[in-house]
Amino acid sequence: MVLNLVKMITMANMLSMFILMEVVAGGFRFGVDGLRMDYYIMSCPFAESIVKNTVNRALQDDPTLAAALVRMHFHDCFIEGCDGSILIDSTKDNTAEKDSPGNLSLRGYEVIDDAKEQLEDQCPGIVSCADIVAMAARDAIFWSEGPVYDIPKGRKDGRRSKIEDTINLPFPTFNTSELISAFGKRGFTAQEMVALSGAHTLGVARCSSFKNRLSNADATLDSEFANTLSKTCSAGDNAEQPFDATQNTFDNFYFNALIRKSGVLFSDQVLYTTPRTRNIVYGYAMNQAMFFFDFQQAMVKMGKVDVKEGSNGEVRQNCRKIN
């Protein structure tokens, strides 16, 4: 009887090991380079925690970096896909994306550098800069009391970063049709575009991005808020105006501001003044949970835009230059 019990336990252990092997193999079965939630589970198991801890330390010192990290991820993915091309420095032979007018106000590169340096010490040549940017944006949103979500990893770093490509970034002067078209070219619906615009609940805009609204008597702008913007711009083009009243907290206040005709950028306010997107704005203003859900879905989708895989990319040793 004891012998039979031992045999049963042995068989159970073998079966458990077989199931475990199937689960592990299943996680890696669909191509070494495919995006997966568990991409670094074997090759660099502490990758996620290293990035998160680095982001948290940076945000404790400077909470405004949350908006910067989210914006960096967007500006990376919108040009050449999510491939870390926004991180590459210009050289004497090439002016990179980061030096275009639309990217000069980007910040937070040192946070990515810090995380990358730690990851290269732990697991050299494994974690891409593109994945670090995507994870940093996700962690910044969570730190700012935004929605919790996970993203698949496995992006490779691109080898191209050219200033001329940034012409495809949305401009703060875009109307709704232009926004829908720009996002549509990258596979996003109008609703997903509005949800992603909600990232403006974090951060500030520079006067140079909205001062044209003040000189043209913008009818979509509340008169008292126009006075506030004018006062901001009296300090010069680099003076900053928060997008909403809680600039370091991820919430739905941005959409409530649009309803009050207090959107900072023209491209913000038109989302409410245009019939096609007005109800979406109103819905998010009334229901933060719905905004959070749609936003996290759209962010996961954005993180998959034109990713580089396999030989189409590389894992940079230094995020600022191609290997």
Residue 160 CA: distances (Å) to CA of 181, 266, 311, 314: 24, 31, 14, 11
Would you say 200 is a known binding-site residue?
A: yes
* Contacting residues for 319 by C-beta, under 8 A, at least 6 apart: 84, 87, 88, 109, 112, 113, 116, 129, 132, 157
Q: Tell me the Ramachandran region of residue 246: left when phi exceeds 0, alpha when psi lies from -120 to 50, beta otherwise.
A: beta
Q: What is the DSSP string of 12-48?
A: HHHHHHHHHHHHHHHHT-S-TTS-BTTTTTTT-TTHH
End-to-end alpha carbon distance in the chain: 64
**Per the residue annotation, which of 75, 98, 153, 261 is the catalytic one?**
75
Would you say 73 is a known binding-site residue?
A: no
Would you say 201 is a known binding-site residue?
A: yes
Would you say 161 is a known binding-site residue?
A: no
Q: How far apart are CA 126 and CA 124, in angstroms?
A: 6
Q: Which residues pair with 40 in a beta bridge?
A: none
Would you say 218 is a known binding-site residue?
A: no
Q: How far apart are CA 189 and CA 222, in angstroms?
A: 29
H or E stretch at 188: none
**Is residue 100 within 8 Å of residue 28, measured between CB atoms?**
no
Annotated active-site residue 75? The verdict is: yes
Would you say 251 is a known binding-site residue?
A: yes
Would you say 246 is a known binding-site residue?
A: yes
Would you say 114 is a known binding-site residue?
A: no
State which amino acid sits at residue 119.
Answer: L
Residue corresponding to tokens 């199931």: 19
Would you say 176 is a known binding-site residue?
A: no
Would you say 237 is a known binding-site residue?
A: no
Would you say 97 is a known binding-site residue?
A: yes
Annotated binding site for Ca(2+): 76, 81, 83, 85, 97, 201, 244, 246, 251
Query: Which parts are annotated binding residues for substrate?
Result: 170
Catalytic residue IDs: 75
- List residues forming the annotated binding site for heme b: 200
**Residue numbers belonging to the annotated binding site:** 76, 81, 83, 85, 97, 170, 200-201, 244, 246, 251
